[in-house]
Structure 1
Amino acid sequence: MPTFARSLRVVLSAAALSGASIAVADTVKIAYIDPLSGSFATTGQNVLKSWQMVAEIANREKWAGAHTFEVVGFDNKASPQETLVMLKTAIDQGYRYVAQGFGSGAGLALIDAINKHNERNPGKEVVYLNTSAGDPDMTNSKCSFWHFRLDAHSDMRMEALSSFIAEDKSIKKVYVINPNYAFGQQVSRAAKETIKRKRPDIEIVGDDLHPFGQVKDFTPYISKIAASGADAVITGNAGSDLALLIKASKEGNLNSMFFTYFASSPGTPSALGSAGAGRVKSLPYWHPNNETFAGKEIVEGFKKKYNDDFFSSATYAGIALLAKGIKATSSTDPVKLAFALEDMKVQSLNGEVEMRKQDHQLLQPLYMVTWTKVNGQDVKYDHENTGYGWKTDAKLEPRVSALPTSCQMKRPKL
């Protein structure tokens, strides 16, 4: 027994001396809850792989010191109801971090469910990382301490987009078309309000809301746009909705300029082809043909590994923020990290970004880009092997899109 006791003391002393390395070697598990099957699976699968690749880079380069990241996909089938089922499954499996982005309906459901879970389960809190759900209410009237948005919301994007349109005096008529749910309705409202404020001479000649993810042929909508004489179309469509809209415009020989939020999302570039060259614009927060080609190693590595295009740099910002928070707090606890993320600045692929404390909205640059044939100079990287990629028209600094918030956030005790 004395020998055993001495041996035990030696082991405990050694453990105490190396306690830091033992205590912090945790795996931060992120449950990515988005459509991984059905009409929007192409986008969901791509963003899942993006999370996973950035996690691999962070692990290899030890962004969070001894901590590592693991991202696993949960298929919500683009349904808010199924999102809640997947959230419960993830929580039951021990996940404390959740990522989602496709659909504000699912995002709003997550905020409500996570608020209730965290209130009822102190010590088992969950943090929600939002890659692209863009309803402004999520960082305004329905803001939550547990929710962090990594993309610009729809009003912020429209603030930037309308500023760009206001400078183009050739645009006299605009047609607005969006999916009929919270996000699409917000885009429609913001387009009409901001254009009227910045260019009252522009006429809104159409405003359509269509079923989300259900329209298989947009030809009737394209016919209406053509008949309206619109110089430009503004749309918040994404995924298959946007791909099919562009496809119908190509087949209908519509010559209007398209101002989109998500034309760089998977599946859409293939639908653009040569017909979209010079007339389809998008408003990403990053793209591979940026001014310094920042992120080119990830772009090339992603293509080699997945034969796919990396486009969601929100995944990079998300992991970078978490990693910095972990180092700052020496903890992976969601409550401590949530506080640490507030007003945090990190270098992302588009420059310095900041997580605003007041509403947990990321402030970052946005780009206005045009679909252009690859030229080996300012357009080096194509999308989906089309021979076409995005060319920068303008880089819009955070102040252009930053908007005030009505958020009255309730914070827990640390």
Structure 2
Amino acid sequence: MRKLMMAAAFALPMLGGAAMAQDTLKIGYIDPLSGGGASVGEIGLKTFQFLADEVNAKGGILGKKVEIVPLDNKTNPQESLIQAQKAIDSGVRYITQGNGSSVAGALTDFITKYNERNPGKEVLYFNYAAVDPVLTNEKCSFSHFRWDANSDIKMEALTNYMKGTPSIKKIYLINQDYSFGESVRTAARAMLKTKRPDIEIVGDEKHPLLKVTDFAPYIAKIKASGADSVITGNWGQDFALLLKAAADSGLKVNWYTYYAGGTGGPTAIKQGNLNDQVFQVAEGYANIDNKSSMAFEKALRDKYGFSLFYPRAVNEMRMFALAAEKAKSLEPVKVAAALEGMDYEVFNGGKGFMRKDDHQFFQPIYIAQFGELKNKEPFDEEKTGWGWKGVAKIDADKTVLPTTCKMTRP
């Protein structure tokens, strides 16, 4: 009897821990929390924690409290796989990541193979920012969903805007030397050749990812080329330091970007006095006239002091909750089936949908320029007094590009 009582006493805490685990839905957040990408990764982590708080305030997902589990990958594909295995071993069945398409490619392969080997224990990978087109084309997977527009979709929108800007004569391309940077430069060359064959590409530079500390030599090349405009997919410190070097040298060109709004970017733009000379293509920006997104923006800034850089993360978390409710299950395969083809009113307003064929989300895309706020827009960036102002909007159905995906489904 005494042995039975001791065994029961030992088992009770164990059962309590199991019950607690069952009441929690863990989402593994695999992104850089140290190294050159840490500033971007920390903002992403806090954004997802803010979104988890929003979901939990409404009762969680199917009654389970959402917990974001931070896992530092140092922007390294191999380290990302170690962190993914660690997450899975601890019971995580949903992973989200965004910074680095090289990481995204490695995670897609890893999770796809894991699911093939472990039927009934599947894991889903929610991609909120890695935009290499290959991820929803040749490397597409049932286990992978992307909420950001891929780089070809963004370049299509950006070059359509540039097509109507006759002052552009000479363009310089500068991008990070990995799969995403390669996709940006390749798409830019191809699309400009079709839409504006008169534009001269006077430079095409690649540099190491998150390793350059002084971009002065690169800026000197841009200056010497006579370019009037630059296209770059640089993000994180690679954009902020690039613009800082441009400001230090007095370079005055127009910048057409993917990620100018990232940490340090707005400050560098202001310091360079590039008023209305920096453009960004994105699925949203703070000053869109939409009551609910503006309220969210204000609440996020009040809590953390930074702006919402990832409207797509909001769409991801809210659609995840809807898909689980639709499936009446948190089993990844059932949630995936519910996400496929889902129509959704996006965070910034307008219609979006998750294409079943390749798990690419389509949504309205905006071109915005950064500069002095003159029309009482409520949000500036990084206390510069400058902010984002819309110059073009493309509805979701006008952003659709074909896919070569041949998806295998369970």
TM-score, normalising length from structure 2? 0.92
The CA deviation at 1:273 is 1.5
Please give the per-residue CA displacement for 1:243-265, whole angstroms capped at 9, x wherever unaligned: 11111111111111000000112
The correspondence of residues 5-404 of structure 1 with structure 2, limited to 5 A, is 26-62=23-59, 64-274=61-271, 275-292=273-290, 294-351=292-349, 352-375=351-374, 377=376, 379-404=377-402
Separation in structure 2 between the aligned mates of residue 293 and residue 162 of structure 1, nearest angstrom: 30
Please give the per-residue CA displacement for 1:159-205, whole angstroms capped at 9, x wherever unaligned: 00000000001111111110010010010000000000111111111
Provide the secondary structure at the position in 2 that maps to 1:282.
strand
CA contact (8 A) 2:286 2:307 kept: no
The CA deviation at 1:308 is 2.0
Q: Which amino acid in the other structure matches residue 243 of structure 1?
A: A
Change (3 A) 1:37 1:293: farther
CA contact (8 A) 1:63 1:324 kept: no
CA contact (8 A) 2:33 2:42 kept: yes
CA contact (8 A) 2:108 2:141 kept: yes
Please give the per-residue CA displacement for 1:35-87, whole angstroms capped at 9, x wherever unaligned: 01121111111111111111211221347452432212110011001101100
The CA deviation at 1:271 is 1.8
The CA deviation at 1:266 is 1.9
CA contact (8 A) 1:84 1:110 kept: yes
Please give the per-residue CA displacement for 1:132-180, whole angstroms capped at 9, x wherever unaligned: 1111000000000000001011111100000000000111111111001
Structure 1 counterpart of 2:15:
none
Between stretches 55-64 and 190-199, larger displacement belongs to: 55-64
Q: Which amino acid in the other structure matches residue 364 of structure 1?
A: Q
CA contact (8 A) 2:252 2:274 kept: no
CA contact (8 A) 2:255 2:277 kept: yes
Change (3 A) 1:243 1:322: same
The CA deviation at 1:123 is 1.3
Structure 2 counterpart of 1:405:
403
Between stretches 379-388 and 330-339, larger displacement belongs to: 379-388
Give every structure 1 segment of 4 or more consecutive aligned residues whose post-TM-superposition deviation is greater than 4 Å. Answer: none
The CA deviation at 1:350 is 2.3
Give ranges in structure 2 of 5+ residues lacking alignment. Answer: 1-18
Separation in structure 1 between the aligned mates of residue 297 and residue 71 of structure 2, nearest angstrom: 25
The CA deviation at 1:381 is 0.3
CA contact (8 A) 1:262 1:282 kept: yes
Provide the secondary structure at the position in 1 that maps to 2:282.
coil
Tell me the percent identity: 45
Provide the secondary structure at the position in 2 that maps to 1:276.
coil
Q: Which amino acid in the other structure matches residue 300 of structure 1?
A: K
CA contact (8 A) 1:159 1:400 kept: no
Please give the per-residue CA displacement for 1:313-351, whole angstroms capped at 9, x wherever unaligned: 111111111111111111011010011100101222122
CA contact (8 A) 1:288 1:294 kept: no
Separation in structure 1 between the aligned mates of residue 189 and residue 399 of structure 2, nearest angstrom: 17
CA contact (8 A) 1:353 1:364 kept: yes
The CA deviation at 1:376 is 5.7
Between stretches 293-302 and 171-180, larger displacement belongs to: 293-302
Separation in structure 2 between the aligned mates of residue 342 and residue 315 of structure 1, nearest angstrom: 17
TM-score, normalising length from structure 1? 0.91
Q: Which amino acid in the other structure matches residue 288 of structure 2?
A: N
Separation in structure 2 between the aligned mates of residue 93 and residue 384 of structure 1, nearest angstrom: 38
Aligned length: 388
The CA deviation at 1:276 is 2.6
Please give the per-residue CA displacement for 1:207-253, whole angstroms capped at 9, x wherever unaligned: 00111111111111111111111121000000000011111111111
Separation in structure 2 between the aligned mates of residue 270 and residue 293 of structure 1, nearest angstrom: 27
CA contact (8 A) 1:63 1:320 kept: no
Separation in structure 1 between the aligned mates of residue 324 and residue 117 of structure 2, nearest angstrom: 25
Provide the secondary structure at the position in 2 that maps to 1:174.
strand
CA contact (8 A) 2:128 2:313 kept: yes
The CA deviation at 1:27 is 3.0
Q: Which amino acid in the other structure matches residue 41 of structure 1?
A: A
